Amino acid sequence: MQICQQDQYIKYRREGFAAIVCILLLTAATYNLHTYLSQRSLLNITYQIIPMLTQSSVPPTAYLPHSEVAPAHDHTLLQGKPAESFDEMPIVDVKTFLERLPGWELECEKVAFCLHNYGILIFRDPRANEQENEEYIDLMEKYFKNASDKYYAGERLSEAKPEYHFQVGVTPEKIERARNHYEKVKHLPEEDKPSSPFPPTVDMKWRYMWKIGERPAGADDDFPQVLPEGFPDWEEKMNSWGQKLLQAGTTAAQMAALGMGLDEHAFTKRMEGGAHLLAPTGSDLVRNEVGATLAGFHYDIAFLTIHGKSRYPGLQIWLRNWKKLAVKIPKGCLLMQAGSSFEHITGGYVLSGYHEVMYNEDTKRALENVKEQMALSGKERILWRVSSTLFSHFRGEVDISPMRELAHLMDPVQAGTYKRMTAFEKLMEELRATSMTADTKKE
């Protein structure tokens, strides 16, 4: 009898609190006290209180009207319909967040939504200048052409550092090999299956790793920087573009944290001193041909991978629902994809983004267009596909076990499959699996 009375009392108390909240909203509306932002704050408080009062497991955003969940132009968010192409992908307006313009909170929610549902972000960041990206690609085209000419002639490349697990300096072609993920994709329809073969072959891409930012003294992953000879503007251009990409990744981490209900710096404080790497890839489009696997089907080790635009297509990604999409980065945007460290620390709420790079028919068409332009202009160009890529990482000693603060978003069973480990332990585990460590036997 006493228990029934207590239950009834709790019920009345919840109803009373709900009534008070409604009165507050009506009063605010009557006196026109809530601008967009203050209304947003009041609504957020209301949506956080209501589930507590009703013991509901429904997430707070479920109570938001669709216009509050996402801007009207993001119809995929409004309808809860998965994007079928890049044209349907929501674009994150970074300026709105940076300047705290009306709707900045919605941009944070959009980041969290896209990372959870798609594993990617299309990030319109005014700080990332496309002209600087073009100059950076020019530099890398020259480097890869120069280094490969020496390599194919049998010369030793002094900037290749297998003793540092290729985490600095150049990695020639046919070194890296993706993990075998056949079991994950064997049941996919043909149009969504990877084009790269199983078991995986070695990648035909080259890569250069350039450290961005400072490392803590004595860090296990603080390998010496490697500067190639013959490129006087190398350090300036690499650092400048690398810092721009890292700055964008840091902002995305802040927005993701806020969108997931965390402190703004929950992720970025773990990124401080991380082994961030500007990691452009280069693929020779003359030596290779259609069908070549430039980068086999894989995910990245990073927290977030940030891509600028490449001059040639070929990158294909998979969404959480295993839909395959060919990447077409809109003008003025960056592409970001979640890595395995992000997946680990969120207990699977955000999944690693799978992708591959193939020399396909679209790549060939783009190459033929460039050749036509060369013939018309009389100017020679270096025919390499260069990616504009940065890997952002957590600091080596950071525990990447699923965060307790994200328990409200995690599936507890799924989260339990992620073991306790540090970011550096995760790095070495993945490097060993992809034939990148000094003690890995090469074929």
Over residues 146-179, the pLDDT tens digits come to 999 999 999 999 999 999 989 999 999 999 999 9
pLDDT number for residue 429 = 87
pTM (predicted TM-score): 0.80
The mean-pLDDT minimum among 3-17, 199-213, 259-273 falls in 3-17
Q: Is 190 exposed, middle or buried (0-12, 13-18, 19+ CB in 10 A)?
A: exposed
pLDDT number for residue 20 = 54
Average pLDDT over residues 354-366: 98
CA distance 233 to 143: 12
- Give the percent of the chain with pLDDT over 90: 73
Q: How far is CA 253 from the centre of its chain?
A: 10
pLDDT number for residue 283 = 98
Q: 72 pLDDT exceeds 70?
A: no
Domain that holds residue 29: 1-64
For residues 416-425, b (16+ Cβ closer than 10 Å) or e, as one string? eebeebbbbb
Q: Is residue 17 one of the residues assigned to a domain?
A: yes
For residues 135-151, b (16+ Cβ closer than 10 Å) or e, as one string? ebbebbbebbeebbeeb
Confidence grade of residue 427 (pLDDT, cut at 50, 70, 90): confident
The mean-pLDDT minimum among 32-36, 143-147, 352-356, 365-369 falls in 32-36
- Which of 44, 64, 84 marks a domain boundary? 64
The mean-pLDDT minimum among 63-67, 190-194, 392-396 falls in 63-67
Same-domain pairing of 313 and 186: yes
CA distance 14 to 37: 27
Same-domain pairing of 181 and 53: no
Q: 275 pLDDT exceeds 90?
A: yes
Average pLDDT over residues 347-371: 98
Q: Is residue 90 one of the residues assigned to a domain?
A: no
pLDDT number for residue 201 = 96
CA distance 170 to 154: 16
Spatial contact of 110 and 92, defined as CB atoms under 8 Å apart: yes
Q: Is residue 111 one of the residues assigned to a domain?
A: no
Q: Is residue 107 one of the residues assigned to a domain?
A: no
Where is pLDDT greater, at 291 or 9? Answer: 291
Same-domain pairing of 296 and 386: yes
- Which of 19, 42, 64 marks a domain boundary? 64
CA distance 177 to 200: 7
Position 324: which residue type? K
Tens-digit pLDDT profile for residues 218-263 = 887 788 999 999 999 999 999 999 999 999 999 999 999 999 999 9
Same-domain pairing of 32 and 140: no
Same-domain pairing of 289 and 366: yes
Confidence grade of residue 2 (pLDDT, cut at 50, 70, 90): very low
Q: Is residue 141 one of the residues assigned to a domain?
A: yes
Q: Is residue 14 one of the residues assigned to a domain?
A: yes
Same-domain pairing of 323 and 412: yes
* Total Cβ atoms within 10 A of residue 359: 24
Tens-digit pLDDT profile for residues 277-333 = 999 999 999 999 999 999 999 999 999 999 999 999 999 999 999 999 999 999 999
Same-domain pairing of 263 and 186: yes
pLDDT number for residue 217 = 84
Q: Count the domains in the chain.
A: 2
pLDDT number for residue 81 = 66
Q: Which helix (H) or strand (E) holds 183?
A: helix 182-185
Q: Is residue 84 one of the residues assigned to a domain?
A: no
Tens-digit pLDDT profile for residues 17-65 = 555 545 554 544 444 433 333 333 333 333 333 333 333 333 333 323 3
Same-domain pairing of 271 and 412: yes
Q: Is residue 332 one of the residues assigned to a domain?
A: yes
pLDDT number for residue 18 = 53
Same-domain pairing of 46 and 136: no
Confidence grade of residue 433 (pLDDT, cut at 50, 70, 90): confident
Same-domain pairing of 161 and 266: yes
- Which of 18, 41, 64 marks a domain boundary? 64
Same-domain pairing of 146 and 27: no
Same-domain pairing of 157 and 55: no
Where is pLDDT greater, at 132 or 3? Answer: 132
